[in-house]
Structure 1
Amino acid sequence: MARLVRMARRSWAVTLTLAVGLAGIVLALFGAGAAVQWLFSGYALAIAAWQAVGMLRRLAHGNWGLDVLAIVAIVSTVLVGEYVAALVVVLMLTGGEALEDSANRRAKRELDALLQRSPQRAHRIEADGIVDVHVDDVRPGDVLLVRPSEIVPVDAVLVSGATAVDESQLTGESVPVDKRQGDRVLSGSVNGQTAVEVRAEATAADSQYQQIVALVAQASESRAPVVRLADRFAVPFTVFSLALGAVAWWASGDPVRFAEVLVLATPCPLLIAAPVAFIGGMSRAARNGFVVKSGGVLEQLASARTAVFDKTGTLTRGAPALTEVRPQPGFGADELLGFVASAEQYSSHVLAASMIAAARERGIRLAEATHATEQATNGVVARIDGREVVVGKFAFVAAHAADAERTEIAPGELAVYAAVGGRYAGTLLAADRIRAEARPTLERLAALGVRRTMMLTGDAQATADHIAAELGLSRVRADCLPVDKVHEVEAIDERPVIMVGDGVNDAPVLAAADVGVAMGAKGATAASESADVVILVDDLSRVAKAVEVGRDTVRIALQSIWVGIAVSVGLMVVAAFGVIPATAGAVLQEVVDLITILAALRAIGGRLDARAARQARGAAVGEAPAAGRAASAPGPTPRADAP
């Protein structure tokens, strides 16, 4: 019931029109026919005046829509006394607008998600202790305490100890980055497991995270509005309808003939077809694991020409995984992995989880340590089965095993070294793997007409080039900050542009693109709120599916519009000879609307998806999905070595 009340309030014009119609029926039952005429006519003219004000505002901005035809139809039916037909036209007009509003309503909450995560408090170190202050009160030079797993409140410099910070939401880098005394730490990054002191370099307003918030707002406001699909037919349909009505009036000498033609010329098929198709397309999208936030987005997807991808978490899995074990003579691969994973049980590092998961996948039993210590950002030392096991960076392991040797690794791979009992035991390699569906997705996009693809990433150039080569991407831009990504997307000529990404660092460019697509399965809230399409499952192929749904939806909407126009024109020609009275014409227009709606409902796409699934199964016979390995670690990498 509450939902119906909300719908009634939201579509107040439709609700009011139905109420007026119900009131007219009650009055007619009591024999007050004259009151019904005045009620219907007055209400219809009031709606026409309201529509005229909106029409003039849109015309002032250069937007010509279907409002002229609807207003003329309402006024003409009232003037010739066809007040029932006038109310029916009003109902169709307000109903079409309500459907379009439902299809295009978009939540304006991009900044809310960012601001909720934005740091609000800071722990300032003063002479008499630690004082909690609002982040806006922090000034450059203030010394702040950042506790384990807390968000760095402002851009600062590390002044004590060492730590590993998670910058994934800022740079896209999936592996925590080592920070030592004197290194810069960015606001919005998450501190590791060690409490540290930092010296503020900037105020909150001038810090990196808050600048991202500002970029999202600026990009959202500068995006050009999408022209309604139906409005593209407005001018020719309006001119033809008015001309036909005028000819019928001139030939017959009866002004009623003009109203009879105009009733059948009301743009209900145009107003209804596209919104119904878009609602169907959006329903189909949700059934396929992604949310499209407005009907205009489906139009943009249908005509997209360029697709731009973030790397980490988008083209790749976003987390390092074990790719190879290189044991030294005297150690087996499973034995080495078992020692490493057993020691890593006592580490909080992201690579520790990868090693433990790999050992469990291979069925390797993990032993308990009698003693274990972790040295932040370097490695862990544990006593397992009476032997000292050292795992971590090369320099850390070499300090415990003089025979340690560096291993050769490919661009972007991470090397985890290990020593057992004072002897170098070998190396384990980890990398951020390319998604198995990445290359098929790019190929499918090309088949759908999105032939230009590009990768933007905050990672190092060597890592980006490595991924691009495996996926066949010709255009790559590495070492990007959020503002760099925005500028790159704005400079693209082949539009509309789809941007696919995740994380806070992608939020500005998702808002700046014609269509922002967020990989939201892992809870990238800020990216999801800034995007037009949110993929709810961890599957990149849904990007191509979104384009496919957009194309099918627009095609069906256009077919439905043309069917409605064809039927309306045929009835208008008949009405020009005086065969169809105005009220009967309004009822026939309802039939046209029904035909249009049934045609547009095909966009729900059950049969389309079933056919696509059959084709996909047929194409998959005898084929193995393309897969590859990717890397994610530019510069210094904690607890691992990179080239």
Structure 2
Amino acid sequence: MMAGLLRRYPLVAATLTALAAVLVLQLTGQEVAAQWLGTAYVVLVVALTAVDMARDIARGHYGLDILAVVAMVAAVAVGEHLAALIVVLMLTGGEALEDFASARAARDLDALLRRAPVSAHRLDSDEPGAAVTDIPVDAVRPGDLLLVKPSQVVPVDGELLTEEATFDESSLTGESLPVTRTHGDSVLSGSLNGERAIHIRATADAAHSQYQQIIALVQQAEQSKAPTVRVADRYAIPFTLVSLLIAGLAWWVSGDPVRFAAVLVLATPCPLLIAAPVAFMGGMSASARSGIIVKGGATLEALARARSVAFDKTGTLSYGEPELVDVVTANGTPSDELLRLAASAEQYSSHVLARGIIRAAEARGLQLGSARHAEEVATNGVAADIDGRRVVVGKFAFVRGEDPAAHPVPLGAGQTSVAVAVDGRFAGTLLLADRLRDNAADTVAQLNRLGLTEIVMLTGDNEDTARSLAEQAGITQVHADLLPAEKVERVHALPAPAIMVGDGVNDAPVLATAGVGIAMGARGATAASESADAVIVRDDVHRVVRAVTIGRHTYRVALTAIWIGIVLSLGLMVVAAFGHIPPVAGALTQEAVDLAAILYALRALTGGGRDPQPQSTRPTEDLSRNTRLVDSTT
């Protein structure tokens, strides 16, 4: 193991070798040889470091290496070659120490990557005894028949072909208890199969499956550079100037150049260079453990400083599964025919309301038709040719474009209307209702207590429905009937940094432009997840509170770790300026300061408190059981 570490960090190995050789020479009385060897090695390292430092300065970046180089040069100049070697070891060993601490902090992110399936078992047919071929998971295509063995991770999203199966979905939903699925149910990739082999039919390839999307987000998060360089650089130049001032005054007052070197070996900047990155990596790890994939340290910093938050309505504050509660017909259209035609057209829509209409039609046993031509108009509705008839379904204004005589119907609390026109004539309205999430009001209240006092709802839904749900959630500012571009404008008007929380494709632009875009990605909203800065992979809006808490805790830990290093270093420098700490002892003491700052930075792993239990991912009651389906005629 030691040999592997030395091969990975050759400069650390060379420094340890040089330090050991110098100590041996000194112990055997060969002081001159020890000094020459130590000095020559330090000068070589200074030259290598100076080249990189010059390149940084040429790019306008004044880093903390300047201080370390001056400390090494000063120590060599006054004959303190041993102290200079310890500074070199501290500088070269910083990368290894950061890797070790970061690996500890990134453990939870890595756990997700390790579970990712790399292969799948494809069946040649659905007949008993069909041949099984192992293929790379990326080679799976929708429609493929797959075998999932006991205790294996489901490789792609699919439809269960076995009569019944049990899955552990804790890595996706946070639900600790196994869930049972039956024939025809959807099975999410990343679910852990139970104790029996099962067959599934792939409904998506790997790239578009739930777990692989999470994996892609994790990899993006690991590759993202935290803003720790910026955080450290805020203190780099002042810290360098103060250190040089103390060292210069010590030399000037005492007349002893050794004092100059003694001060500077205590000013080496490892806490600033290492502790802050470790803290932000720890915050990203704590987020992953809480079901939140944060794509970089910059997001954690923005969460820590956030002043306002905007929520989408459907699928974010509500469960996003509207149920049909009323069919209001017009111009003599039979209710079943109105619902059948609307559901047939909605098969070609990606809107969340479409699913509720289709479910209602299927529950009535209506046979849906197929379209010769269908076109979805984003944020408005869908137009399709069903059984030779032109069917337009969507917002009232959209349908009124087909028939100016179309008229709205009164809405009850929390209801949304979908208008329908058939062959250019207004045919009626479908009323649907969605329930507020059980923990939405508590989420808003806790965000208020955290100081995000400007909390708004931004939605493309109608004003009455939006206000009804907003009042239940405790939100007083509501902006309804918004197009995606208008949502962007509203978010820009909020106090910055502003958080935007959404889940749909139409939320992608505003998630990308907000100070912090948070996507509710549990249902696979790919466009929203790719545009967002953070993705909640459990279907729980309360994770927004957890994200803000982790962001604030992480940023506070990072700054405290930096200040621990600065305060301890400055205090020790003052003591050294009076000649009480010789250079060698100072270099060794600074190593302890570095360790203290890094160990404190690992506190970011706690995330700032206990992780709340995941909330239910489904409504506690089915709306269709509580609301009597009524057919009305105008």
Q: Residues 356, 626 of structure 1: CA spacing in aligned structure 2 closer, same or farther, 3 A cutoff?
A: closer
**Is 1:266 aligned to 2:285, yes or no?**
no
Question: Is the Cα–Cα contact under 8 Å of residues 416 and 641 in structure 1 kept in the other structure?
Answer: no
Q: Residues 542, 227 of structure 1: CA spacing in aligned structure 2 closer, same or farther, 3 A cutoff?
A: same
Give secondary structure in 1 for the equivalent of 2:320.
strand
What does residue 593 of structure 2 align with? Answer: 592
Question: Is the Cα–Cα contact under 8 Å of residues 438 and 471 in structure 1 kept in the other structure?
Answer: yes
Q: CA deviation at 1:75?
A: 3.4
What does residue 389 of structure 1 align with? Answer: none
Q: Residues 225, 586 of structure 1: CA spacing in aligned structure 2 closer, same or farther, 3 A cutoff?
A: closer
Describe how 1:413-428 pairs up with structure 2 within 5 A. 413-414=416-417
Q: Residues 578, 346 of structure 1: CA spacing in aligned structure 2 closer, same or farther, 3 A cutoff?
A: closer
What does residue 475 of structure 1 align with? Answer: 477
What does residue 556 of structure 1 align with? Answer: 557
Please give the per-residue CA displacement for 1:476-502, whole angstroms capped at 9, x wherever unaligned.
Answer: 33343333333333343x211112223
Letter aligned with residue 274 of structure 2: I
**Is 1:21 aligned to 2:15, yes or no?**
yes
Q: Residues 96, 514 of structure 1: CA spacing in aligned structure 2 closer, same or farther, 3 A cutoff?
A: farther
Question: Is the Cα–Cα contact under 8 Å of residues 265 and 572 in structure 1 kept in the other structure?
Answer: yes
Letter aligned with residue 458 of structure 1: G
**Is 1:77 aligned to 2:71, yes or no?**
no
Please give the per-residue CA displacement for 1:298-333, whole angstroms capped at 9, x wherever unaligned.
Answer: 22111110112222322222332255799xxxxxxx
Describe how 1:48-127 pairs up with structure 2 within 5 A. 48-58=50-60, 66-81=64-79, 82=81, 83-91=84-92, 94=95
Describe how 1:335-346 pairs up with structure 2 within 5 A. none
Please give the per-residue CA displacement for 1:519-554, whole angstroms capped at 9, x wherever unaligned.
Answer: 121222232222221111111111111111111122
What does residue 290 of structure 1 align with? Answer: 292
Q: CA deviation at 1:503?
A: 3.3
Give secondary structure in 2 for the equivalent of 1:307.
strand
Letter aligned with residue 301 of structure 2: E
Supply the distance in 1 between the matched residues of 2:452 and 2:309 (Cα, whole angstroms). Answer: 7
2:458 to 426, 447, 456: 456
Q: CA deviation at 1:591?
A: 0.9
Letter aligned with residue 588 of structure 2: V
Please give the per-residue CA displacement for 1:195-240, whole angstroms capped at 9, x wherever unaligned.
Answer: xxxxxxxxxxxxxxxxxxxxxxxxxxxxx98873333333443333
Letter aligned with residue 24 of structure 1: A
Q: Residues 451, 429 of structure 1: CA spacing in aligned structure 2 closer, same or farther, 3 A cutoff?
A: same
Supply the distance in 2 between the matched residues of 1:479 and 1:454 (Cα, whole angstroms). Answer: 14
Q: CA deviation at 1:93?
A: 5.6
What does residue 496 of structure 2 align with? Answer: 495
Q: Residues 307, 557 of structure 1: CA spacing in aligned structure 2 closer, same or farther, 3 A cutoff?
A: same
What does residue 157 of structure 2 align with? Answer: none
Describe how 1:132-531 pairs up with structure 2 within 5 A. 228-322=230-324, 354=356, 409-410=411-412, 412-414=415-417, 430-492=432-494, 494-531=495-532
What does residue 609 of structure 2 align with? Answer: 609
Question: Is the Cα–Cα contact under 8 Å of residues 347 and 380 in structure 1 kept in the other structure?
Answer: no
Give secondary structure in 1 for the equivalent of 2:578.
coil
Q: CA deviation at 1:45?
A: 3.1
Please give the per-residue CA displacement for 1:265-307, whole angstroms capped at 9, x wherever unaligned.
Answer: 1122222332222222111111111012222222211111011
Supply the distance in 2 between the matched residues of 1:226 and 1:511 (Cα, whole angstroms). Answer: 22
Question: How does the TM-score come out when normalised to structure 2?
Answer: 0.58
Letter aligned with residue 609 of structure 1: G
Question: Is the Cα–Cα contact under 8 Å of residues 457 and 478 in structure 1 kept in the other structure?
Answer: yes
Give secondary structure in 2 for the equivalent of 1:88.
helix
Q: Residues 231, 95 of structure 1: CA spacing in aligned structure 2 closer, same or farther, 3 A cutoff?
A: farther
Letter aligned with residue 294 of structure 1: G
Supply the distance in 2 between the matched residues of 1:641 and 1:576 (Cα, whole angstroms). Answer: 89
Question: Is the Cα–Cα contact under 8 Å of residues 311 and 457 in structure 1 kept in the other structure?
Answer: yes
Supply the distance in 2 between the matched residues of 1:642 and 1:414 (Cα, whole angstroms). Answer: 15
Question: Is the Cα–Cα contact under 8 Å of residues 92 and 268 in structure 1 kept in the other structure?
Answer: no
Taking only the aligned residue pairs, the percentage that are identical comes to 46
Supply the distance in 2 between the matched residues of 1:356 and 1:533 (Cα, whole angstroms). Answer: 32
Question: Is the Cα–Cα contact under 8 Å of residues 435 and 627 in structure 1 kept in the other structure?
Answer: no
Letter aligned with residue 487 of structure 1: E
Letter aligned with residue 72 of structure 1: V
1:46 to 14, 23, 48: 48
Supply the distance in 2 between the matched residues of 1:24 and 1:450 (Cα, whole angstroms). Answer: 55
Give secondary structure in 2 for the equivalent of 1:434.
coil
Letter aligned with residue 488 of structure 1: R
Give secondary structure in 2 for the equivalent of 1:516.
strand
Q: Residues 242, 30 of structure 1: CA spacing in aligned structure 2 closer, same or farther, 3 A cutoff?
A: closer
Question: Is the Cα–Cα contact under 8 Å of residues 413 and 642 in structure 1 kept in the other structure?
Answer: no
Q: Residues 92, 300 of structure 1: CA spacing in aligned structure 2 closer, same or farther, 3 A cutoff?
A: farther
Supply the distance in 2 between the matched residues of 1:255 and 1:600 (Cα, whole angstroms). Answer: 35
Q: CA deviation at 1:242?
A: 1.7
Q: Which moved more, 1:245-254 or 1:554-563?
A: 554-563
Letter aligned with residue 575 of structure 1: A
Q: CA deviation at 1:264?
A: 0.8
Please give the per-residue CA displacement for 1:5-36, whole angstroms capped at 9, x wherever unaligned.
Answer: 9x96xxxxxx3532432553686699785455
Q: Residues 499, 368 of structure 1: CA spacing in aligned structure 2 closer, same or farther, 3 A cutoff?
A: closer
Where structure 2 has 5 or more consecutive residues not aligned to the other structure, the ranges are: 26-32, 110-225, 329-334, 375-382, 388-392, 395-407, 421-428, 624-630
Supply the distance in 2 between the matched residues of 1:522 and 1:373 (Cα, whole angstroms). Answer: 27
Please give the per-residue CA displacement for 1:377-405, whole angstroms capped at 9, x wherever unaligned.
Answer: 89999xxxxxxxxxx99xxxxxxxxxxxx
Question: How does the TM-score come out when normalised to structure 1?
Answer: 0.57
Q: CA deviation at 1:373?
A: 6.0
What does residue 211 of structure 1 align with? Answer: none
Question: Is the Cα–Cα contact under 8 Å of residues 44 and 74 in structure 1 kept in the other structure?
Answer: yes
Give secondary structure in 1 for the equivalent of 2:322.
strand
Give secondary structure in 2 for the equivalent of 1:580.
coil
Question: Is the Cα–Cα contact under 8 Å of residues 564 and 596 in structure 1 kept in the other structure?
Answer: yes
Question: Is the Cα–Cα contact under 8 Å of residues 73 and 263 in structure 1 kept in the other structure?
Answer: yes
Q: Which moved more, 1:68-77 or 1:596-605?
A: 68-77
Letter aligned with residue 413 of structure 1: T
Where structure 1 has 5 or more consecutive residues not aligned to the other structure, the ranges are: 9-14, 108-223, 327-335, 361-365, 382-391, 394-405, 418-426, 618-624, 630-639
What does residue 220 of structure 2 align with? Answer: none
Letter aligned with residue 73 of structure 2: V
**Is 1:542 aligned to 2:543, yes or no?**
yes
- By relative contact order (CA 8 Å, sep 6+), the higher-ranking structure is 1
What does residue 565 of structure 1 align with? Answer: 566
Letter aligned with residue 452 of structure 2: V
Supply the distance in 2 between the matched residues of 1:242 and 1:592 (Cα, whole angstroms). Answer: 19
